[in-house]
Amino acid sequence: MSKSISDQVAVIGMGCTRFGEHWDKSTDDLVIEAAYEALKDAGIEQSDVDAAWIGTMDSGYAGFTLSSPLKTNYIPVTRVENMCATGSEAFRQACYAVAAGAYDVALVVGVEKLKDSGYSGLVIDEGANDGTDPNLTAPAAFSFIAPAYFKKYGLDAETGKKVLARIAWKNHVNGAKNKKAQYQKEIPMEAIMQSPMVASPLGVLDCSGVADGAAAAIIVRSEDAPKYQAQPMYVKALSVAVGPGEGMLTQDFDFTSIRENAVAAEEAYRQAGIKNPAQEIDMAEVHDCFTPTELIIYEDLGFSERGEGWKDVMSGKFDINGDLPVNPDGGLKSFGHPIGASGLRMLYEMYLQFQGRAGERQLNDPKIGLTHNLGGFPWQCVSFISIIGKEKAQ
């Protein structure tokens, strides 16, 4: 069980590139753009940074991925990888280092350059294994969620398809209001439902895209935050659950829940003192790699009762003007998923919302937010949750 560092550290500056097809930019360019925006936002110089963390899956090695483009002056730089929670993991480690008193000011950057790397989102090198693992693409693995959920909770195929399409529709509506999103266009429900099939029942528009991007954050202790930033973002909880890979071996695993999500959520809520997440959380950014994933995330995180998530989708509960807006920035559906950057991109949206800087998608005075990543497969994954707040508890 983790020790809570609730309200001990704060974010005083953030930056984020536009996500998309950056054929004309290198990994170095993206790191520089995100980091410099964060430094400027915090009102500090690069020389004020005591240590840095860089999160990337495949776009660099060791701390040189950050130290070389930024020309940092021999400070410690740690390179982090934890599947799709890579950027969030880098953020978590920096927060703990600052809370422990090891450093006063930490820089975190998450980056991934996928578009000209040959990465397709379909073929992934799993590395050496004993040959018994199923040879599944990510869309295929997550497609199993949909028919399992429909059967368990009594949805016919057409109704289920509409539920999934509405999740994608919602996220594209939000992304159309975001100048940093890869896709800035609303997409009609009909077009989503009729999109070319990838892994039944998932069409192309049920899947997040492939993109380049970077995001960054500056972290200090909470008592120091007002010296730099009039509106810092306070860290309430940081939780990671890594599965033992037993999902496909157990009789009760049925693809309608990802155990790591529920465990990470329970731990995060304990750290933050949250008893009723559906009522106490004002907004969330969740890992909508595929539309059925977002559907069961609602239930795993306690936003909906078991079997009720699909009804909440159709009622508009998670719309930008709903009771609990989810993915107000457009999510992975609108941004794509440059692995190392996605977690920090989610935190960037929380930061803008708390400061009232989210433009057309600005919510009405949110106080508590949640970000969530998952990486791997439904039966074995890494799940991350942060809870952040606009105000420090008294």
Secondary element (H or E) of residue 369: strand 368-377
- Partnered with residue 199 across adjacent β-strands are 202
Write the CB contacts of 98 (distance below 8 Å, at least 6 apart in sequence). 9, 104, 105, 106, 219, 220, 221
Cα–Cα dist 169/246, whole Å: 34
In this structure, what DSSP letter does residue 79 have? E
HSE-up of 216 (CA within 13 Å, CB side)?
Answer: 27
C-alpha dist (Å) from residue 267 to 3, 18, 160, 243 = 10, 32, 31, 14
Residue type, 33: E
3-state helix, strand, coil in the chain (%, to 5): 40, 20, 40
Q: Say which of 84, 95, 289, 381 is annotated catalytic.
A: 84
Contact assessment for residue 164 and residue 201, using Cβ atoms and an 8 Å cutoff: yes
Structure tokens at 36: 């410099």
Structure tokens at 297: 């995330």
Active site residue 84: yes
Contact assessment for residue 239 and residue 261, using Cβ atoms and an 8 Å cutoff: no
Cα–Cα dist 279/274, whole Å: 9
Q: Say which of 22, 287, 337, 372 is annotated catalytic.
A: 337
Residue type, 275: K
- Partnered with residue 108 across adjacent β-strands are 53, 217
Residue with tokens 């110089």: 45
Q: Which residues are catalytic?
A: 84, 337
